[in-house]
């Protein structure tokens, strides 16, 4: 699986870009503010239709322009041509010449895993970041999951709107509750199964990166609903009416990361928290490879230089698969000093003011 062609128009600081990429390693070199991360953001957009920085589409449009265009040729089980255009008035998504409306139709054309500074929110941020991690990984491995998640989200919003009025009838509330329980129970089941599958990889990867045998680490799924969802929902009725929103359900789930039985947020150092975040993202890449039989495209945004040599070496299992010709990686950095310690052939590119130039090696 790899990105063969990328085309940008008025995206971030890129006026126009047409680039062709081969499988393997691609290193984007340049000073800060030249557009390195923007290029990874465009590649990620083709995979998810979202920015990995969590910003709205309006901020992806080049200053002074009305909209942006991102297109690409994505090679997986087949060759797919994806085009997306966004403006305040118009939004078009085209797959292989056919206009599509559903986000889930684009999933699987190319799968990408990004390593970036924002990954620290997986550990230090609120529960919504950890729920998003589980949901995105499930959506990348099962196209039906996104539909279930959307059903739950619609039922939750409708139910909360009804509760907010303060005069909701029992019949209306029960109608929304049935859909909430149906889709919510499936979300809980799938999240639980996912964490059971990736937990060994997450914990083993953490132990390998940290190289601390004295630390006993564990990762657990913490569902907000521990028994029968319909029963717990009914039991929360008085709290709901008082607070005017749905107080129980998978929209309040979380993940727990423990070190020697203590939550990492309570006792973990910054280095340990960074290692947990790195272990989660590596587990994501490993799980996608296991499920689909091919490695996802790896996007590494200027984080390798922040890691010591031992932690960088932890990437070797992923990098070896890329080096063997079975994958593709795009990596940004401002300096060539550290990466020369890795014995892999790389295609080097220079990025200057939103323009991409190949470098001779």
pLDDT (0 to 100) of residue 187: 98
What residues contact 95, with CB distance under 8 A and at least 6 apart? Answer: 80, 81, 82, 105, 106, 109
Any idea how long the chain is? 361
Between the alpha carbon of residue 266 and those of residues 126, 127, 258, 269, 307, the distances in Å are 14, 15, 9, 9, 22
pLDDT tens readout for residues 230-243? 999 999 999 998 99
pLDDT band at residue 296 under the 50/70/90 scheme: very high
pLDDT (0 to 100) of residue 267: 81
Euclidean distance between CA atoms 60 and 45, whole angstroms: 10
CATH code of domain 1-111+296-361: 3.40.50.300
% of the chain at pLDDT higher than 70: 95
pLDDT (0 to 100) of residue 97: 93
Chain mean pLDDT for the chain:
90
Q: What is the pTM (predicted TM-score) of this model?
A: 0.91
Provide the token pair at 318: 């992923």
pLDDT (0 to 100) of residue 1: 86
């Amino acid at each position: 699986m790899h990105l063969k062609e990328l085309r940008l128009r008025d995206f971030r600081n890129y006026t126009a870009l047409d680039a062709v990429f081969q499988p393997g390693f691609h290193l984007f070199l340049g000073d800060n503010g030249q557009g390195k991360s923007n290029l990874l953001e465009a590649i990620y957009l083709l995979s998810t239709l979202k920015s990995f920085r969590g910003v709205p589409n309006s901020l992806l449009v080049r200053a002074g322009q009305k909209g942006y265009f991102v297109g690409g040729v994505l090679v997986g089980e087949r060759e797919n041509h994806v085009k997306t255009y966004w403006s305040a008035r118009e939004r078009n998504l085209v797959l292989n010449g056919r206009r599509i409306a559903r986000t889930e139709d684009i999933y699987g054309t190319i799968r990408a895993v990004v390593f970036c500074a924002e990954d620290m929110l997986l550990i230090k941020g609120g529960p919504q970041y950890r729920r998003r991690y589980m949901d995105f990984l499930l959506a990348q491995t099962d196209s039906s999951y996104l539909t279930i998640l959307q059903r739950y989200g619609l039922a939750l919003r409708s139910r909360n709107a009804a509760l907010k009025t303060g005069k909701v009838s029992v019949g209306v509330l029960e109608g929304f509750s049935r859909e909430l329980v149906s889709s919510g129970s499936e979300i809980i089941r799938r999240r639980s199964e996912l964490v059971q599958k990736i937990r060994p990889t997450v914990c083993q990867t953490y132990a390998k990166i940290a190289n601390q045998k004295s630390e006993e680490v564990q990762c657990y799924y913490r569902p907000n609903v521990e028994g029968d969802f319909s029963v717990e929902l009914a039991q929360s009725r008085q709290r709901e009416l008082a607070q005017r929103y749905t107080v129980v359900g998978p929209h309040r789930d979380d993940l727990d990361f423990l070190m020697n039985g203590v939550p990492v947020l309570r006792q973990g150092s910054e280095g340990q928290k960074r290692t947990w975040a790195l272990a989660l993202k590596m587990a994501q890449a490993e799980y996608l490879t296991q499920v689909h039989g091919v490695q996802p495209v790896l996007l590494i945004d200027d984080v390798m230089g922040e890691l010591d040599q031992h932690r960088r070496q932890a990437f070797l299992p992923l990098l070896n698969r890329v080096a063997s010709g079975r994958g593709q990686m795009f990596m940004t950095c401002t300096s060539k000093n550290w990466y020369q310690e890795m014995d892999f052939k790389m295609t080097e590119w220079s990025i200057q003011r939103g323009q991409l130039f190949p470098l001779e090696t």
